[in-house]
Amino acid sequence: MNHYETVFILNPVLSENQMKETVQKFTKLLKESKAKIIAEEHWGLKKMAYSIQNKKTGFYYLIEFTSDKKDINDKLELAYKRDERLMRWLTVKLDKHAILYAESRRKRLNTNKEQA
């Protein structure tokens, strides 16, 4: 079972509904491909280090998932390229150290949410 993280940046001019619709599109693609979604994080509107498509900000979103299929990255990459609402994306395969770090990060975020 391979463990992956994908982060993508959505265009900042999108409405809340358009943003949610886009995220649902990619989570649905992963579920249809028999991937198990472990975590999703909406990081919100962030300022970027440099302009992309003349935009200085973007909505960041992270999806952590596992999959047995070797072609899952190809399917995801093709879907990203076809969607004009995305400005940038990156999908990485996590090693054992990154998996442990991701688990600790999720626990830390959950405890912060419970305290708030």
pLDDT digits (tens, 9 = 90+) for 53-85: 999 999 999 999 999 988 999 999 999 999 999
Whether 64 contacts 38, CB under 8 Å: yes
Residue owning tokens 């989570």:
27
Residue 113 has pLDDT above 90, yes or no: no
Q: State the virtual CA torsion across 9, 88, 62, 97 in degrees, nearest 10.
A: -150
Please name each of the domains of the chain with its CATH number. 2-115 (3.30.70.60)
Residue 24 reports pLDDT greater than 70: yes
- Taking the C-alpha atoms of residue 39 and residue 41, their distance in angstroms, rounded to an integer, is 7
**For residues 48-54, average pLDDT:** 92
pLDDT band for 112, please (50, 70, 90 cuts).
confident
pLDDT at 116: 65
pLDDT at 5 over 80: yes
CA–CA distances in Å: residue 13 to residues 48, 80, 83 = 15, 18, 15
- For residue 97, what pLDDT is reported? 93
Please tell me the predicted confidence (pLDDT) of residue 10.
96
